[in-house]
Structure 1
Amino acid sequence: MVKTHKIPVSVLVVIYASDQQVLLLERADHPGYWQSVTGSCDPGENLRQTAVREVREETGLDAEKYTLTDWNLQFEFEIFEEWRHRYAPGVTRNTEHVFGLELPQPFPVTLEPREHLNFQWLPCGEAEKKVFSWTNAAALEKLPGIVKVV
């Protein structure tokens, strides 16, 4: 089997309900680390396709049934040392593109157990404080300006 390296371009998908509750997932490889849906692009995929695939893989939700929006927001960050082996030699930085997926209300999700241990819905401000990634916190900070509470 040929080892393929991850592409250093990824998506972060903030899944939220119209009342601004946010879905967070607990990483299986780091219990206690909470995040939104994330994932790297596969070869030949555009960013939207990656977002739809990652949402389906990590939550069981069909992003195409709801409002998936490209927030036209991106972050570049240094890849954690422990995960660099997944990338080509010398690759140390990743560009992450932010999407939002609005659901009418919080739903239970079906987790991919190799990736996530648990999920929870939290008010946006609490979610922003709970995520481990600065890019995830920065994206959540934008949510109140993107969606108005109904």
Structure 2
Amino acid sequence: MPDLISRLVQVHVFRKKTSGIHEYLLLLRSRSDPQYPGMWQVVTGTIDGKESALEAAKREVQEETGLAPLRIEIIPYVASFYNPAADSIELVPVFAFEAHPSSVVRLSEEHEKYQWLSYESAISRLKIQAHKTALEILEKTMLKKE
């Protein structure tokens, strides 16, 4: 039977414009990256050693974007997928980080480009269903109240 493992995090970074509209940060993976080259995605990464999922999420956002969160939310969704190489089911906690509207993004070598996008534009660019599902929950249930 496959093991249940949680080694990864997914983080949706957003900002609220003065107009009240939310924009979402998407990152374009480097074309030289062997896994998903040239694909738009949210911040993702591995939980290292004994760090918590939240600690990993904060570190990954800092490493991949240089941003510090104004606010952190847990999206009530756990992404999952089967990893045939490890015969494991991966469970991925999902977070939302609010960035200051004037924050400057500093990309790591993992990504070549970034864009702040409307919900509709972000959904259409994302290819991984778990990223789309979490973004929909964030936009339509969590941020709709604001």
- What is the TM-score normalised by the length of structure 2? 0.81
Contact 1:8–1:40 at 8 Å: present in 2 too?
Answer: no
Contact 2:62–2:68 at 8 Å: present in 1 too?
Answer: yes
**Which position in structure 2 is the counterpart of 1:95?**
91
**Which position in structure 1 is the counterpart of 2:80?**
76
- Counterpart amino acid of residue 13 in structure 1: V
Q: Percent identity?
A: 32
**Which position in structure 2 is the counterpart of 1:55?**
61
CA distance in 2, matches of 1:35, 1:99: 14
Q: Gaps (5+ residues) in structure 1?
A: 1-6, 85-89
CA distance in 2, matches of 1:106, 1:22: 13
The Cα of 1:17 is off from its aligned counterpart by 1.1
Change over 3 Å in CA distance of 1:97–1:60 after alignment to 2: same
CA distance in 1, matches of 2:102, 2:123: 17
Change over 3 Å in CA distance of 1:62–1:121 after alignment to 2: same
CA distance in 2, matches of 1:140, 1:106: 22
- The runs of 4+ residues in structure 1 deviating greater than 4 Å are none
- Counterpart amino acid of residue 21 in structure 1: E
- What is the TM-score normalised by the length of structure 1? 0.79
The Cα of 1:143 is off from its aligned counterpart by 2.0
**Which position in structure 2 is the counterpart of 1:123?**
118
Change over 3 Å in CA distance of 1:55–1:142 after alignment to 2: same
- Counterpart amino acid of residue 100 in structure 1: A
Change over 3 Å in CA distance of 1:31–1:149 after alignment to 2: farther
CA distance in 2, matches of 1:139, 1:24: 13
- Counterpart amino acid of residue 126 in structure 1: S
The Cα of 1:69 is off from its aligned counterpart by 1.2
The Cα of 1:95 is off from its aligned counterpart by 1.2
**Which position in structure 2 is the counterpart of 1:87?**
none
Contact 1:20–1:149 at 8 Å: present in 2 too?
Answer: no
Q: Which has the higher helix share?
A: 1
Deviations 1:26-67 (A, max 9, x none): 11124430011001111101011001000000001123xx10
CA distance in 2, matches of 1:143, 1:20: 10
**Which position in structure 2 is the counterpart of 1:111?**
107
CA distance in 2, matches of 1:15, 1:21: 9
- Counterpart amino acid of residue 122 in structure 2: A
Q: Gaps (5+ residues) in structure 2?
A: none
- Counterpart amino acid of residue 37 in structure 1: V
